[in-house]
Structure 1
């Protein structure tokens, strides 16, 4: 009998398993994948996410893998360019965009080192229900027989197509349609910092990752998907030329594509019911948003820790339903501004209000630093977009 079974061992699952195991709970973490293995990802980790890794004793392990430090960011909308970087957040003065083949094994081994049992290559076939409550799982390792494992709580950390969420019929209570699709790949021969540049109904993201490679991603509206697929490489380069011509020149003259193009047709933005009798959801299983702002990994870390704290309370005497309800409420409150900003900007067309803010930021270095602090997690969206702050920013822009 386990205290907790965690289904999914990547950015949300391994941390919640690790943190529960560190508190003395008996934990089983299972995943269909074996590690190292790749998965579709933006790679990017904001300062607040790195601060969680640091607190867990895992950041030095990531830095030691040679992930390039990012200390300058450029965000643009058409001809408006915002450049700079946030001051240190939680003691972190850089960001990283590691390959998932590097990051995920660090998380998995962190769970193992904490005392969690981790089974790789494990398929969950069904949940066990008793008296309307989830009581465990039935699953098997590759080629093995199906066996039962029981626990006081089963946690689904298994992504947007979560087996656990589907099995318990977790309902969506907020849903915003996806606007775009993404293609990304890796190039050698380039030297760059972080770029997120939006043009006319299209976007390009550029940032360095492991092995002297640069991740280059482009985004377009969903109605362009079929046309884009007809000539992926040509369209990919054309977007670079349209938005950042100088980078496109470097890409075509010095860059060498080192992998195939990876498409991302992601689901809608959503919140779904994330707890019930004997179960909880964390990471993309319970809350998902467009990849444009790259918040997924940092959110997974932050809310895995929040869930681990509340599950620990539930395993230690507090009513579990009450503890899990508080987890969902706090997660929703803390993530709301990021969700709203993401769903707004992922339309690839700014509202008049946001356009005015971007125009003012482009000529105000101090305010731009605050903007990057919001992106990095040192300031909430509510704080950055507070009426008095925006009035001051727009007033300064008008007088510049």
Structure 2
């Protein structure tokens, strides 16, 4: 079945920087059926370079980025749940972002787009959920940057979500995580075609964006998964040579990933979204991470992966300890995998069973809004 991307217009959105965006477009997809009491809705949050196409098949024949987890009989069972996924604010796949037309100028925003935060992204999602007439979400789930949005939902709208599933994520970036993002940003801005972000209708900064993607993709894999997939195999060569073309299989793979990315992602969105991730700190303004989670009313399922060195398990364990310190209902699972950070997307066997059982419990123990008031 072909899934269609839908669009909703939000009249205005006030951002953390103090500016207000008018007529904000939100691109989203839905799977399954919303039940009569509107209490079976699950919001899926995408990772940094994802989009609203989380499941099913689109018009180009491409499966959704989490199609192995969302669908009939899967972890997020669309025979039971109404699943929603929207493209984030600042994105480039249908939701308003730097490549959108600035109504004040009639030209793409570029770097005139206001600074955005993870909180702004979630605020826009809440407006979408309200527009869909859903009083309370059964669950919010997502990995990587998606997990950051899950945590923001828990503290910003504590009564609007029954359960939170932050997967392979963190409550705040470490210096190393910020450093990787800054390397990608510098690669983009150093491209001669960047033109201070005003490259629309011109040659885009493809070389810089491709390098940024290559750096990012290295962090998504583990040493073991790269060794198994590529080793030191040469590509179409029997011995080494210093022509600085593609020598090793891993080089070919990274160049392919980089060139593929350029065709579907906007360089300015890369800058804005990575900056939003770097500034995200759930504990900001609070004496501790535990104190920031005081307002949360959801039950939690936190999942990490043993080989994930981009968002290592200790960061998930910090969240779990903070939640337990405030007597929240939290289940924590560290899953064994060789796939690195990508494990939450590809190594779905155990993850499926854990999520399925957790959601079944949430359905049994669902607390309607009127009970919480």
Question: Fold conserved (TM > 0.5)?
Answer: no
Q: TM-score, normalised by structure 1?
A: 0.30
Larger relative contact order (C-alpha < 8 A, sep ≥ 6)? 1
Q: TM-score, normalised by structure 2?
A: 0.31
Tell me which protein shows more strand as a share of its residues: 1
